Amino acid sequence: MHEIGTSFNEPAPYVRRGNGLAPSAPEPGQLVLVTGGGGYIGGVLVERLLNRGYRVRVLDRLYWGHGPLTGVSDRIELVEADVREMPASALDGVDGVIHLAGLSNDPTAEYAPEANWQMNAIATETLGRNCLDRDVQRLVFASSCSLYDGLPPGMHDETAPICPRGAYATSKRYGEEALQTLANEGLCPVILRNGTVYGYSPRMRFDLVVNTFVKDALLRSELLLHGGGWMWRPLVDVSDVSDAMIAAYEAPAALVRGEIFNVLHSNYQIRELAMLVAGSVQLLGRSVTLRETPAPRLTRDYECSNMKLASTVGFQPARSVVEAISGILSRIDVEDCTMLSDPRYYNIRWLELLRELTPQIDQYKATL
Ligand SMILES: NC(=O)c1ccc[n+]([C@@H]2O[C@H](COP(=O)([O-])OP(=O)(O)OC[C@H]3O[C@@H](n4cnc5c(N)ncnc54)[C@H](O)[C@@H]3O)[C@@H](O)[C@H]2O)c1
């Protein structure tokens, strides 16, 4: 199974490896509820679901506005709501759920730990319970490989004795366990521990390592290697994560009920990622310098295996970091410094701004 390359940086006859997703949906026409569909992964996933013949309802409180959904707005149903107060009608007629909504990294979870707990842990459990009550069987949950952080060095699979630290990982683990409990009562949850995602989405995030390096190479012509950048991280392209979610949604229940799968293309050292980005940006005729700096107090350093998803579901992420970097460079305006530094592409900066401005906006509205 192969896909012809479409990025202008890829020569015309370039043939990209397929990732194992079946060519067509077993039951097109099903209605899929995507919570958090207005975000970075959602912006790619929703389009892929639609192209596969699914009907899509997005439930999102739209932290990043309507912009990410502009390209699909006439083809989806939009429920503008918070997962913590989800209207019961959001599940009307739904065949299955892909659950992305919530705070999506360590800094935002640490910034608002109670909100994070209510969104990522409690709302996940409640959503699972509501699906069970409404006989909605399949629920794919976006968890994270960051649950492996803190384990001794080495390759970790889904059986590793994780001990999550911090607000984000702890809340994701609670969500996983709550859904696995509901699997014993008849729900069919599938838990995907995603590696750090890279690549282009209509809702860009420039706070994820590869994307950040692309932005820094363009804006500053310099990439900093904290502690030399020797730390390992599992990574995966946003199109592969989206397809992994679809594969998990479509897989036979007997194979995936209550199961956890790591989703990653490869494990990379941060140093290697910087070199791949620098080389790709140099191909545009720009200079990029790499500089080693002292290690920060806390570093994330872990590696995981993607064998289980490949052997159970037949899915293996295919899009490499260099392909994704070329895809980003071909789809953004590399001269647009304002866009590259816009706070809406940095989750923590945007949430800080929202919190700071909300009282003033409310006050302003009251005077209208
Ligand atoms: N991007 C990654 O590298 C990565 C890696 C591992 C796991 N994940 C998980 O994948 C999911 C999606 O990540 P993303 O990168 O697309 O994040 P994102 O922040 O771009 O998108 C999250 C979306 O959820 C919405 N949302 C947040 N809180 C909500 C709430 N309480 N009610 C309704 N909507 C809410 C936001 O408005 C946004 O549209 C998250 O659960 C994240 O934890 C992401």
Q: Over the stretch 303-339, which tens digit does the pLDDT of each residue have?
A: 999 999 999 999 999 999 999 999 999 999 988 888 8
The residue to mutate among 33, 34, 35, 41, having the most atoms of ligand 1 within 8 angstroms of its beta carbon, is 41
Residue 2 main-chain phi, psi, to 5 deg: -135, 155
The model's pTM is 0.94
pLDDT exceeds 80 at position 196: yes
pLDDT exceeds 50 at position 1: no
pLDDT exceeds 70 at position 9: no
The residue to mutate among 100, 179, 345, 347, having the most atoms of ligand 1 within 8 angstroms of its beta carbon, is 100
Beta-carbon contacts of 338 under 8 Å, excluding residues fewer than 6 positions away, are: none
pLDDT exceeds 80 at position 15: no
Q: Are 245 and 192 in contact (CB under 8 A)?
A: yes
For ligand 1, atom 28, which residue shows the shortest CA distance? 102
Encoding tokens for residue 74? 């006439």
How far apart are the C-alpha atoms of 133 and 91, rounded to whole Å?
11
Residue 92 CA to ligand 1 center (angstroms) comes to: 23
For ligand 1, atom 25, which residue shows the shortest CA distance? 36
Residue 292 CA to ligand 1 center (angstroms) comes to: 31
Q: Tell me what the pLDDT averaged over the chain comes to.
A: 92
For ligand 1, atom 27, which residue shows the shortest CA distance? 102
For ligand 1, atom 7, which residue shows the shortest CA distance? 144
Relative to the CA of 81, which ligand 1 atom is closest?
33
Residue 251 backbone zone (phi > 0: left; psi -120 to 50: alpha; other: beta)? beta
DSSP 234: E
Residue 64 CA to ligand 1 center (angstroms) comes to: 11
How far apart are the C-alpha atoms of 247 and 363, rounded to whole Å?
47
Residue 15 CA to ligand 1 center (angstroms) comes to: 31
For residue 226, CA distances in Å to 12, 164, 199, 302, 304 come to 38, 23, 22, 16, 22
pLDDT exceeds 60 at position 11: no
Q: Are 196 and 232 in contact (CB under 8 A)?
A: no
Residue 280 CA to ligand 1 center (angstroms) comes to: 28
How far apart are the C-alpha atoms of 190 and 251, rounded to whole Å?
10
Give tens-digit pLDDT for 16-54: 789 999 999 999 999 999 999 999 999 999 999 999 999
For ligand 1, atom 15, which residue shows the shortest CA distance? 40
Residue 29 CA to ligand 1 center (angstroms) comes to: 25
Reported confidence tier of residue 351, pLDDT bands at 50, 70, 90: confident
Q: According to the model, what pLDDT value does residue 4 have?
A: 41
The residue to mutate among 33, 34, 40, 350, having the most atoms of ligand 1 within 8 angstroms of its beta carbon, is 40
Catalogue all structural domains in the chain, each as residue range(s) with its CATH number.
Answer: 28-351 (3.40.50.720)
Reported confidence tier of residue 2, pLDDT bands at 50, 70, 90: very low
How far apart are the C-alpha atoms of 325 and 280, rounded to whole Å?
7
Amino acid at position 165, single letter:
R
For ligand 1, atom 1, which residue shows the shortest CA distance? 197
How far apart are the C-alpha atoms of 65 and 134, rounded to whole Å?
30
Which residues are paired to 139 by β-bridges?
Answer: 97, 189
Pick from 267, 240, 109: which is nearest to 175 by CA? 109
Residue 193 CA to ligand 1 center (angstroms) comes to: 13
Residue 103 CA to ligand 1 center (angstroms) comes to: 6
Beta-carbon contacts of 346 under 8 Å, excluding residues fewer than 6 positions away, are: 205, 206, 207
Amino acid at position 217, single letter:
A
Residue 56 CA to ligand 1 center (angstroms) comes to: 17
Give tens-digit pLDDT for 246-281: 999 999 999 999 999 999 999 999 999 999 999 999
Q: CA triplet 279, 281, 294: central angle to 5 degrees?
A: 70
Q: According to the model, what pLDDT value does residue 349 have?
A: 86
Q: Are 18 and 51 in contact (CB under 8 A)?
A: no
What distance lies between CA 112 and its chain's CA centroid? 20
Side-chain half-sphere CA neighbours of 149 within 13 A = 21
Ligand 1, CB cutoff 6 Å, lining residues: 36, 38-42, 60-64, 82-84, 100-102, 104, 119, 142, 144, 194, 196-197, 203, 205, 208, 347
